[in-house]
Amino acid sequence: MSDLNETVAAVQAVDISSGLASEGVSSFLAGIYSNGLLGVGLFILLLAGGVLLHRLNMDRTYRNVAATTRDGEVSPEDLREEMFTRQGSNFNAAAVVAWMLLFAAFAYFYFLTPEIFPGHNYYQMPTLSSGPLGFAAFGLFVLLLAGLAAAFIPRELYGYYELSRKTKVAIMLTVPVLALSIALSVQQGTIFPEVDPATRGLAFLALFGSEVALLFPVYAEARGGMR
């Protein structure tokens, strides 16, 4: 009988500790995603890091080529031309869409409902938010803003790296993942002022997971170059 009691107590202890752990993770996640400044800062930091590392990767390639060239004279334009790799139009199209959706998902997550930035969000525009196509108009507006940037980013960011098919698949998969993030944010907008933490957390993970995947080739090359 005492064995049974011990077992029951042990099971309860495990349940409690795992419950506490998942609760801890959830509250940690909620702490990050509900902190607008932290989230936006992280988003911009990852982007800026990617841009900076891309520059560093290009510079390092140039320096390495110059250092192994007899007189050290290499035309940067010629090197860029040689470095450029065609990744394929399916991939390029998906990458442009993914980058557009990344910005759209970011805007939907942080600027759709007032809970994160009460002074700067979609609900501050009553005409738009009261209209039947408000959410869509908001998204299209963001897509248009992001479209120009997104059209150039993939060419510059992926054209100079040898991407494996697995990396390409991972980047292309961000399209449905980001679409999911947008859909979940829209759902948050629909049920507002109620908040569903689980959906919110999932949308957050989809957004930042995709951002990491989209920038992965740059970070991976930078890591390889540091060896």
Kindly list the residues in this chain that would bind other proteins in the complex (CB under 8 A). 61, 64-65, 67-70, 74-75, 78-79, 81-83, 85-94, 161-162, 164-165, 168-169, 172, 220-221, 223-225, 227
Taking the least distance from each CB to other proteins, the nearer of 89 and 130 is 89
Taking the least distance from each CB to other proteins, the nearer of 139 and 154 is 154
CB of 60 to other proteins, least distance (A): 9
**Letter for the amino acid at 90?**
N
| Contact yes or no for 158/95 (Cβ under 8 A) | yes
Taking the least distance from each CB to other proteins, the nearer of 60 and 117 is 60
Taking the least distance from each CB to other proteins, the nearer of 4 and 165 is 165
Helix/strand/coil for 211: helix
118 phi-psi bin (left φ>0, alpha ψ -120 to 50, beta other): alpha
CB of 217 to other proteins, least distance (A): 9
- Residues contacting 80, CB < 8 A, separation 6+: 58, 160
Taking the least distance from each CB to other proteins, the nearer of 119 and 227 is 227
CB of 93 to other proteins, least distance (A): 7
Taking the least distance from each CB to other proteins, the nearer of 70 and 193 is 70
How many C-beta atoms surround the C-beta of residue 44 within 10 A? 11
**Letter for the amino acid at 225?**
G
Rg (CA), the chain: 23
Angle between helices 165-191 and 197-225 (to 10 degrees): 150
Q: Which two tokens stand for residue 205?
A: 């993970």
CB of 74 to other proteins, least distance (A): 6
Closest residue by Cα to residue 43 from 211, 158, 215: 211
CB of 140 to other proteins, least distance (A): 24
CB of 82 to other proteins, least distance (A): 6
